[in-house]
Amino acid sequence: MELHVVTLHVNGRTHAVALAPNVTLLHALRDLGYTDVKSGCEKGDCGACAVLLNGTAVNSCLVLAYQADGAEIVTNAGLGTMEHPHPIQEAFADAGAAQCGYCTPGMVISAKALLDRTPHPTEDEIRNAISGNLCRCTGYGQIIEAVKIAADKLAEGQES
């Protein structure tokens, strides 16, 4: 199979990688060491692999890596660090919105995409925004609360 060089801009770093045309963005990112992009269902049902692709939340298992050539990609790890978490990450911790943590990176990405376009979402808008992310542990109540807390934190002028 012929390989093609693809340039992926991930969390501020640029990677030129030779990939087969059928490699998904999920597998390209995981191979590059971005383990915060979780491999769940690999068919677009769970949202564990969600990333921001040019500011839009997408399931990276449904995007071929070559489709992201030259695009800006942000994973959960690209939003903040343990020492300096993004307000959304901080809100998830404050609200207890992570139990096993497997869905959390994708949930945070979906919340970021929502809050970027709708800074003061209603509960229905939050539910709709995270509807593509499955969580088997929390029951979603804490996740919805975390997004509300994050919206308030961001409205208070903390970083976006």
User: What are the structural domains, with CATH classification, of the chain?
Assistant: 4-78 (3.10.20.30), 87-155 (1.10.150.120)
Q: Is 15 exposed, middle or buried (0-12, 13-18, 19+ CB in 10 A)?
A: middle
Kindly list the distances between the CA atom of residue 140 and the CA atoms of 110, 131, 135, 157, 158, in Å, as whole numbers in the listed order: 13, 10, 7, 26, 25
Please tell me the distance from the alpha carbon of residue 32 to that of residue 110, in angstroms, as a whole number.
Answer: 22
Each residue's pLDDT tens digit, 21-50: 999 999 999 999 999 999 999 999 999 999
Burial 79-94 (b: 16+ CB within 10 A, else e): bbeeeeebbbbbbbee
H runs (alpha helix) in the chain: 25-31, 87-94, 104-117, 123-129, 141-155
DSSP 68: G
CA dihedral for 48, 44, 116, 54, sign (positive or negative): positive
Each residue's pLDDT tens digit, 39-90: 999 999 999 999 999 999 999 999 999 999 999 999 999 999 999 999 999 9
User: In terms of residues, how long is the chain?
Assistant: 160
Each residue's pLDDT tens digit, 97-147: 988 999 999 999 999 999 999 999 999 999 999 999 999 888 899 999 999
SS3 label, residue 66: helix
Q: What is the pLDDT of residue 64?
A: 98
